[in-house]
Amino acid sequence: MEIEFDFFKKLSGRGNFYDFNSQLNYFDYFGITPDDIKLMINIMSKNENRMADFFYELEKEIYKKIQFYSTHLRDSHLGFIAVGEEKLKESGRAFVCSMLYLSARLLAQEYMLLSTVNKTKYNVDLRVHKFGNEKFSYKIYLQSLRVFYESLSAWSFAIMGQDFEYLIYFTKMDEFVDTKIYDLKAYKDLFMLIWMQSYVKQAKELREYILELEPDNLSSIKVAYNALKPLNFDSIFKLDDDDLEIKRKEFIFDYNIWIDDSLKRSIRANREDIYSKVSYSESLNLNEYLEILETLIFSFRYYNVYDYEGYVTNLYGTIFKHFHNRLSGEWVVSLIKNITYSRQRDEPFKKNVLEDFYQEGIYKKPLLAFFDNNKKSNLVGFPEIIWMSFHAHKEWMLFDASILTNFNKLMNSRLREMLKDSLVSLHKRFSIIKNIEPEKIPFFQQKANINRGSVDEVFVDAIAYEENIKKCFFFVNHFFPEAPQMWHIYKCGLITYKGLDNIIKKVITPRFNIIFKDYKKISKQLKLPKDCQFSMVLLVNDILEVNPRIDLDNGIKLYIVAFPAIEHFLTNFIYKK
């Protein structure tokens, strides 16, 4: 089901907020100016080589700011005035919490807009500050929205209570926007700290991952003067040899240009088809779970608060009919409990607010629970927040490890079939590219028998022979498991060639050694010319920042190719490069 943005209650253009139908610049919500952006990046740059320490320093400063704003009332003339009454302090905490959550909602609505709108009809300028000749796009803007959204929501969760004060602010949030109670610009320094921490977190985590692979590695993520991409991850893949580094960048540039959109769509279609093949629970597959999340989105279209028990009862009645009695009332109660965030008043603050975000954060807990004055539980939800949860599960596979394991096995098998289909198709268009099925070759049949019982242990996934250059390519698929972290693609690049258990060493080298040892026998069975050379190809599901041409032993090349670029690799890349 495709959800159009008009389905949600638009916040931009109301109160003190700009209208995203006339411009896109989320910094404007918070009064963050070009000078402020420069200041933030300057500060991050000075801490470039100590991001872990800097992360916790920022966290400490954020807590201080939250404490200050929670205990000081803002006066438009006198500024912030300290309050003494505990009731006012509690109200102040609820206000700051709702302000952070409102900020996340603003970003979520822009994210939804750009993810669902008809791009041929929506053409609004990105008016984000540029330091030079940076190239901005909706895709880059979306990524930046997401980074900030995750941190804002995490901080809101960190200080959220369940009391009546919170219920008031959250249920009257839209009304308070219209009456201009929320002036986010007055709290700019808090938002600037959270924005910096959201990016510092990525640099810190990736640096920690690098040290896991190579404890003596001194490389760090560089800070860039770019408002939407302030981190330069390319620096951790930089080659020492300048000529090789130039070629690495050329290879990656070529791949990005020649990505086959039809193959990308094919990957996506197969991916979505697998949703119906993988179980979410005993009664539901992944597609059906996503359908339930969509039902939740629609249920909060007109009202953002419900009596908890009444909502669960009505939801059960709705999905009971839809799923033909397959789901019990207990299952629905458990579902709502699992996706509802509620923090007890006496629960201590976390030491690391963002630590378990993808397990316990807003994607997993899109609903909120608060008590009214009668101690009755109320359920609060906003369509855009639930949509972000739906989107995260569908696009970033935000499911439990056991579900991901099953999904990845099926996807790896599909990728193997797609590769075979692509080679058959290429042969029809370019007769010099011969597709050889390894399962029909005695040598590889024997290897398949040794490894039978596991689709992940086939010896090679495909073989292609190029007549013009007399070269045989042995393809090995490696589908990198899905993960929600924004820096996951860089992690995939690093594990490809770094660490004791890297992909080249674990997946490619054993196959290469056997092929090299028995190449005469293999060549004879494949009926190849005596002077035919061979290369290995590691086929992955996305373009990595690593050098896509690596020298193995004895002058043999390994090519690292993204599946959507397979045609460019076989028809252009190997000739030109």
At residue 234, the 3 state secondary structure works out as: helix
d(CA 141, CA 28): 14
Where do the CATH 1.10.10 domains begin and end in the chain?
284-396
The pLDDT value recorded for residue 406 is 92
Axis-axis angle for helices 308-322, 286-299 (nearest 10)? 130
Count of CA atoms in the C-beta half-sphere (13 A) of 62: 30
Q: Say which DSSP state 163 is in.
A: S
| 3-state SS, residue 306 | strand
Q: Looking at residues 285-291, what average pLDDT do you find?
A: 93
CA-wise closest residue to 360 among 153, 175, 177, 215: 153
Please state, in angstroms and rounded to a whole number, the distance separating the CA atoms of residues 51 and 200: 6
For the beta sheet containing 367-371, the strands, ordered from the edge strand earlier in sequence to the opposite edge, are: 305-307, 377-380, 367-371, 340-341
| Among the listed residues 315, 326, 319, the one whose alpha carbon sits nearest the alpha carbon of residue 279 | 326
**Diameter of the chain measured on Cα atoms:** 90
d(CA 222, CA 488): 17
Structure tokens of 403? 């579900």
pTM for the structure as a whole:
0.92
Task: With beta carbons less than 8 A apart as the criterion, state whether 542 and 492 touch.
Answer: yes
What pLDDT is recorded for position 59? Answer: 95
CA pair distance 380, 502, nearest whole angstrom: 46
Does the structure show a pLDDT above 60 at 451?
Answer: no
pLDDT value for 318: 85
* Mean pLDDT, residues 232-245 taken together: 91
Helices 188-213, 138-158: inter-axial angle, 10-degree rounding: 100
Average pLDDT, the chain: 90
DSSP assignment, residue 228?
Answer: S
pLDDT for res 356: 82
Average pLDDT over residues 10-19: 92
Residues 440 and 463: their CA atoms lie apart, in Å, by 11
* Tokens linked to 23: 């411009």
- Residue 283's identity, in one-letter code, is S
DSSP code of residue 19: P
Tokens of 294: 């969509």
The pLDDT score that the predictor gives to residue 62 is 96
Count Cβ atoms below 10 Å from residue 529 Cβ, excluding itself: 11
Return d(Cα 35, Cα 25) in angstroms, integer: 15
- 542 φ, ψ (degrees, to nearest 5): -155, 165
Two structure tokens written together for 375: 């101690």
Q: Which residue has the tokens 């190029």?
A: 466
Q: What is the DSSP string of 515-567?
A: HHHTHHHHHHHHT--TT-EEEEEEEESS--SS-SEEE-GGG-EEEEEEGGGHH
User: What span, in angstroms and rounded, lies between the C-alpha atoms of 314 and 319?
Assistant: 9
Q: Which residues contact 563 (CB under 8 A, 6 or more apart)?
A: 263, 267, 415, 418, 419, 422, 539, 540, 541
Stretch (H or E) spanning 186: none
- Hey, what CATH topology would domain 284-396 get? Arc Repressor Mutant, subunit A (1.10.10)
Count of residues for the chain? 577
Lowest-pLDDT range of 11-15, 207-211, 482-486: 482-486
Confidence check: pLDDT of 494 > 90: yes
Residue 452 in this model has a pLDDT that exceeds 70: no
Report which of residues 386 and 121 the model is more confident about: 386
